[in-house]
Amino acid sequence: MAEFLLELFSEEIPARMQARAAEDLKSLVTDALKAAGLAFDRAEAFVTPRRLALVIDGLPAVRPDVAEERKGPKVDAPQQAIDGFLKATGLTLEQCEQRDTPKGKIWFASLTIPGGPTADLLPEVIRKAILGLPWPKSMRAAEQVVRWVRPLHHVLALFDGQVVPFRYDLHKPDIDGSGEGAKQAVGSTVGHRFLAPGRIAVTGFADYKAKLLDAYVVLDREERKTLIRDQVEGQAKAAGLTLRDDPGLLEEVAGLVEWPVAYLGRIDDAFMTVPEEVLVTSMRTHQRYFALEGADGKLAARFAVVANTETRDNGATVIDGNERVLRARLSDAKFFWDQDRKTPLESRIKDLEPIIFHARLGSVAQKVERLAALAWSLAPKLGADPAQADRAARLAKADLTTGMVGEFPELQGLMGRYYALAQGEAPDVAEAIADHYKPVGPGDRCPTAPVSIAVALADKLDTLAGFFAIDEKPTGSRDPYALRRAALGVIRLIDENGVTLSLRAAFGAAWDAYRVDGLRDKAVAVEELLSFIADRLKVAMREKGVRHDLIDAVFAVGGEDDLLRLLGRVKALAAFLGSEDGANLLTAYRRAGNIGRIERKKDGVEGFGEVDASRFAMAEERALFERLEADAQPLKAALAAGDFAGAMATLAGWRPAVDAFFDGVLVNDPVDDLRRNRLALLDDLTSSMNDVADFSRVEG
């Protein structure tokens, strides 16, 4: 067995593309090897800012012969089709065989594809991998005609310790090395750009990785992340500080350095009066600095920078240069902070008029008016002060016109909170401004304060109603207005805060607030919105382990649009079906449904009418009827009161009567009146159960 080592060495690959590119390279090469009938023991990809590397262990030195069967045209197909099949297989018609298939007699060819040295296959595999890498963005360097992420400097390709005979030229569209001056694959690489720029001959992966480490290149991305974290944490601890956790920044920095060296710098005290979120965002976004915090959890006047090299002065020059750059960045941030506070948020509302929310739905200023009205109407249902909800909604978008949010859009809402507090707004109003975009994703905090819930719900309901009104619904993977995220936000706000709310009425109110032309039919679109929420609810509940079919069963009960009640019914249904009584009653429901469906089809009727108690011939059918009659009103009362556990308990109480009925009663009695009366009784049973949930949608 042999080892295959491949390295694509280029100019710096953007950090955000590296991890995906490494996996894509591995997939492209391993899939090609598998397609050629080659098995292997292990494949592992690596990436640094300047190289993609792949090692595959356990490849056979020689490819085995591969037996392959090819399906051809029908026996009576035109001669041209048969000739094409024979040409493709290289066989004569006598060497093929006819087989009977459901589609008639078909020609089949059995081929033996001869093996050969694995090394002979690799150039084509490498060629297709280089051209097949799906970069999100690519460039064409100099006179090259092949687009790639960055200029490719060399290809290292070793199989069983020998250089693969691969020739390439990015100036040629076929990259097959046929052009004059094409480059050869090499058996060497280069180390760190500054610390070890010379070429390094390698004999295999272990040698390659070890020599790169000696040349100041840490090949493994996870090792680089660990080194960065350990170095920063160690230096922070020595200064009496701790690293503020930032996995996303750690991932990015690991893609910027091959030899990480961490240093600590200082933030001028003059900037510490600026909100810490601004300082952290500026350091993170512009400079890729790590934030540090003191024992009190507050931002410290220090930062960590990770360089890609060692210095003779222990980083003094690096630290000084980064401190000067940061000083300039934070000067801009402090200027925005000082200037923005001079203009009250209320005075900025008029500046929202030129900002378009959507071409067909009006401006952000118009959205603010709708938000205020909707938040006011929602507030009493949430235990919030309507006046505060109105005030927060009117000021919620005002920070979009500030210099700080213009520089750092990710701080929208949060900066509104700071400016609101600075101008003396009530704390609940300020918090609602900060939280009205939340929750942004599944890991984001969900607002819990009543005023914040009112404004956050209003914002999402308005967005959903507006885009469904103009038929801009998500399709497939396309969701340019993040409506799925908005729907999940509505679900979380309602579920996590125990909000009782009619979504049909809420979406209707949001719809009515729009004063634009060309909207779709309100009733149709609102029902589509409810269905959309149901689909999102399935996603949200599936992540919590709730079966999607139970959600379907509950949503199929018409008229229910209160998510809290729906979720309560789903939980009660899950508990009921998990019990012995529930499982047995579900079996009886299906049996009753199947019998009724067959008999309705046979009789050519839609139903069997009302049950006639005078026609009962057996005690078991009378007992079931009386039980259903006795429980009809209590069941409706339990459902109306939201006592779904009680409703399920009522259903569980039917089990003895149902079991006795099926054990002792012949439904399809020879006497037709008895048969139809018993079928009507079974219809009553299934109908009564469907008032709780549509049990026909329950799987398993």
Structure confidence by residue, pLDDT tens digits, 68-105: 788 999 999 999 999 999 998 888 988 999 999 988 99
673: number of Cβ within 10 Å: 11
The pTM of this model reads 0.79
Instruction: Let me know whether 536 and 630 are in one domain.
Output: no
Domain that holds residue 125: 2-62+117-214
Q: Are residues 110 and 121 in the same domain?
A: no
Kindly state the average pLDDT of the residues 669-692.
93
Evaluate if residue 366 carries a pLDDT over 80.
yes
How high is the mean pLDDT of the chain? 92
Query: With 90 as the cut, is the pLDDT of residue 548 above it?
Result: no
147: in domain: yes
In Å, what is the CA distance from 163 to each residue of 60, 122, 184, 511? 16, 11, 9, 68
Q: How many domains does the chain have?
A: 5
- Residue 2 confidence (pLDDT) above 80: yes
- Decide if 177 is inside a domain: yes
Q: What's the confidence (pLDDT) of residue 73?
A: 93
Residue 367 lies in a domain: yes
Mean pLDDT to the nearest integer, 635-656: 92
552 lies in some domain: no
Instruction: Say if residue 313 is exposed, middle or buried (CB neighbours under 10 Å; 0-12, 13-18, 19+).
Output: exposed
Please check the confidence at residue 172 and state whether its pLDDT lies above 60: no
Q: Which among 214, 240, 256 is the end of a domain?
A: 214
Where among 336, 356, 385 does a domain terminate? 336
Asked whether residue 583 is assigned to any structural domain, the reply reads yes
Residue 563 domain-assigned? no
Q: Are residues 255 and 309 located together in one domain of the fold?
A: yes
> Residue 82 has what DSSP assignment?
H
Contact 648, 564 (CB under 8 A): no
Q: What is the enclosing helix (H) or strand (E) of 189?
A: strand 188-190
Q: Are residues 167 and 201 in the same domain?
A: yes
600 and 643 fall within a common domain: yes
- In tens, the pLDDT along 450-506 reads 999 999 999 999 999 999 999 999 988 899 999 999 999 999 999 999 999 999 999
109 and 124 assigned to the same domain = no
C-beta neighbour count of 24 within 10 angstroms: 18
Is the separation of the CB atoms in 430 and 408 below 8 Å? no
Same domain, 176 and 226: no
- Looking at 336, 362, 390, the residue that finishes a domain is 336
**pLDDT at residue number 282:** 94
Residue 653 sits in the same domain as residue 599: yes
The pLDDT tens digits of the residues spanning 615-629 come to 999 999 999 999 999
What tens digit of pLDDT does each residue of 309-340 get? 999 998 999 999 999 999 999 999 999 999 99
Q: Which residue in the block uniquely carries the two structure tokens 């069967």? A: 69
How many angstroms separate the CA atoms of 345 and 395, rounded?
Answer: 6
The single-letter DSSP state of residue 289 is: P
Instruction: Please give the pLDDT value at position 181.
Output: 52
- pLDDT-derived band at 57 (thresholds 50, 70, 90) equals very high
